[in-house]
Amino acid sequence: MRLLVPILFIILFTLAVDLYLFKALRLFCRNIKNKKRKRIIYCIHWSIPLITIIIYLFINARLTGFRNPKTYPALFNIFGIFILIYLPKIIFLAFHLLEDISFLIVKVFKRNLKRYLFLSKTGLIISVIPIFLILHGMLFGKYDFQVKKEKINFHNLPVAFNNLRIVQISDLHIGSFGGDTAVIKKIVDLVNKQNPDIIFFTGDLVNNFAEELKGIEPIFSGLKAKYGKYSILGNHDYGDYFRWNAQKEKEKNLDELKSMESKMGFRLLLNSSDTLAVNGQSIAIIGIENWGKPPFKQYGDLEKAGAGTEKYPFKILLSHDPDFWRQRVTGKTNIDFTLSGHTHGMQIGFHLFNKQWSPAKLRFNEWSGLYKEKNQYLYVNVGAGFIGLPARIGMSPEITVIELYSKCDQ
């Protein structure tokens, strides 16, 4: 019964919204004289919250049984349909509430006032817009993989690494695809097409379970890079969002995930570092375990991870959560370049006049793209997968190509 409280909240919320909208529906139907037709309309109205409540009670009752990765698409689609139905309702509700308030104020001064439902009708028209946006995001947007490219110059990057071509992928949440190997192959092919020198995966390979990777390993192993593939863990990789029967079961799940990443050819950095050497020159690659602001766990230990890297002239840090960059990196270390993921750009946003906005901006200082603080850089990848809402609305899944250039004196 882990989700009983939030599900009760959803049920009460659903009933409150539909009860208030039923009042609006009766106003819209006031001129319908056929009582049978009215009853049919009212039954349709109440059938939606009834079905919603039954589904969420079923989910709560069966929660511990949802271990099969193929159940994720079903769960997320249910959530997507809920948003598809209730977001337009909430938008309409806002207009209808404003009309109610205006009508009551005016009625104080004019008793025999006829209600024309202008604001309600306007709200009804506007509320249709998110239906099309959400449907597009669910059917097409979440598969519209985009390759974003950046070029960065560094004065202290050894010349042997001039034009180093990095490909970053992040937040795949493989279980969300329900074992759809065609989508994973599409991602792998798109990454390999970029001819990477090195591949960095910045966490959240799965939603909770190592078994989400079953059947995917041979395809994901096909990622190729000249100097190798590195990865770190994200908050979802630890299995913290599932109620395990025992701590040992959770630990076994994490060990299996680590083993599978290794078998797929990734060098998993767990508060550790590695050295990349080219033509007698070297740089350090540092990877920390997940660290985020509460309620996210803080497994990351930069001091431990960076031990022994002091002698290298250039350092790259992999940190799943971008908050770590401003909290522990900028102005406190000499780490040159950090790569992060985690935000997903909230999977919704828009671009206008070379500007982008997303609700993620309200939560994260750095949530998408390239950031600079003096001589230290951060790139935040908005992820290639999805979780929760099975959609990408104006926030396309991303594969990033970053070219590093050296300005060192030769």
CATH number at residue 289: 3.60.21.10
Range of the domain at 39: 4-139
Model pLDDT, residue 105: 82
How does the average pLDDT of the chain come out, rounded?
91
- Which phi and psi (to 5°) does residue 116 adopt? -100, -5
Cβ burial, residue 361 (10 Å; 0-12/13-18/19+): middle
Q: Would the pLDDT of 381 be above 60?
A: yes
Examine the fold and report which residue of 124, 139, 154 is the final residue of a domain before the chain moves on: 139
Q: What is the mean pLDDT of residues 299-310?
A: 96
Q: Do residues 175 and 108 both lie within one domain? A: no
Q: Would the pLDDT of 264 be above 90?
A: yes
Q: How many domains does the chain have?
A: 2
Q: What is the mean pLDDT of residues 279-304?
A: 95
Measured CA to CA, the distance from residue 290 to residue 239 in angstroms comes to 12
Q: What is the mean pLDDT of residues 33-49?
A: 89
Q: What is the mean pLDDT of residues 368-390?
A: 96
Q: Do residues 256 and 303 both lie within one domain? A: yes
Q: Would the pLDDT of 211 be above 90?
A: yes
Q: Would the pLDDT of 401 be above 80?
A: yes
Cβ burial, residue 355 (10 Å; 0-12/13-18/19+): exposed
> pLDDT-based confidence at 67, cuts 50/70/90?
low
Q: Do residues 315 and 368 both lie within one domain? A: yes
| pLDDT tens, residue by residue, 86-109 | 999 999 999 999 988 888 887 777
The three-state (H, E, C) secondary structure of 123-158, written as one string: HHHHCCHHHHHHHHHHHCHHHCCEEEEEEEEECCCC
Q: Would the pLDDT of 35 be above 90?
A: no
Q: What is the mean pLDDT of residues 151-165?
A: 96
Q: What is the mean pLDDT of residues 220-228?
A: 97
Q: What is the mean pLDDT of residues 249-262?
A: 96
Model pLDDT, residue 70: 73
Model pLDDT, residue 60: 62
Examine the fold and report which residue of 81, 106, 139 is the final residue of a domain before the chain moves on: 139
Model pLDDT, residue 136: 96
Model pLDDT, residue 111: 64
Least-confidence region, from 24-33, 64-73, 251-260, 349-358? 64-73
Q: Would the pLDDT of 312 be above 50?
A: yes
> pLDDT-based confidence at 160, cuts 50/70/90?
very high
For the record, the structure tokens of 409 come out as: 């004196």
CB 402 within 8 A of CB 166: yes
Q: Do residues 133 and 150 both lie within one domain? A: no
Model pLDDT, residue 112: 64
User: What is the side-by-side strand order in the sheet with 198-201?
Assistant: 146-154, 398-406, 164-169, 198-201, 229-231, 266-268
Q: Do residues 133 and 271 both lie within one domain? A: no
Least-confidence region, from 3-7, 209-213, 374-378? 3-7
> pLDDT-based confidence at 66, cuts 50/70/90?
low
Q: Would the pLDDT of 409 be above 70?
A: no
Q: Do residues 223 and 269 both lie within one domain? A: yes
Q: Do residues 317 and 356 both lie within one domain? A: yes
Q: Would the pLDDT of 62 be above 80?
A: no
Q: What is the mean pLDDT of residues 246-272?
A: 97
Give per-residue burial for 87-110: e unless 16+ CB within 10 Å, then b.
ebbebbbebbeebbeeeeeeeeee
Q: Do residues 268 and 358 both lie within one domain? A: yes
Closest CA to 211 of 165, 169, 170, 242: 242
Q: Would the pLDDT of 286 be above 50?
A: yes
Q: Would the pLDDT of 392 be above 90?
A: yes
Of the chain, the percentage scoring pLDDT greater than 90 comes to 72
Q: Do residues 155 and 126 both lie within one domain? A: no
Examine the fold and report which residue of 122, 139, 156 is the final residue of a domain before the chain moves on: 139
DSSP calls for 270-295: SSEEEEEEETTEEEEEEE---B-STT
Three-class secondary structure of residue 407 per DSSP = coil
Q: Do residues 114 and 166 both lie within one domain? A: no
Q: What is the pTM of this model?
A: 0.91
Q: Do residues 83 and 232 both lie within one domain? A: no
Model pLDDT, residue 282: 97
Model pLDDT, residue 116: 73
Model pLDDT, residue 410: 45
Model pLDDT, residue 295: 85
Model pLDDT, residue 72: 86
Q: Do residues 126 and 160 both lie within one domain? A: no
Q: Would the pLDDT of 63 be above 60?
A: no
> pLDDT-based confidence at 1, cuts 50/70/90?
very low
Q: Output 108 or 194, whichever has higher pLDDT.
A: 194
Cβ burial, residue 334 (10 Å; 0-12/13-18/19+): middle
Model pLDDT, residue 32: 87
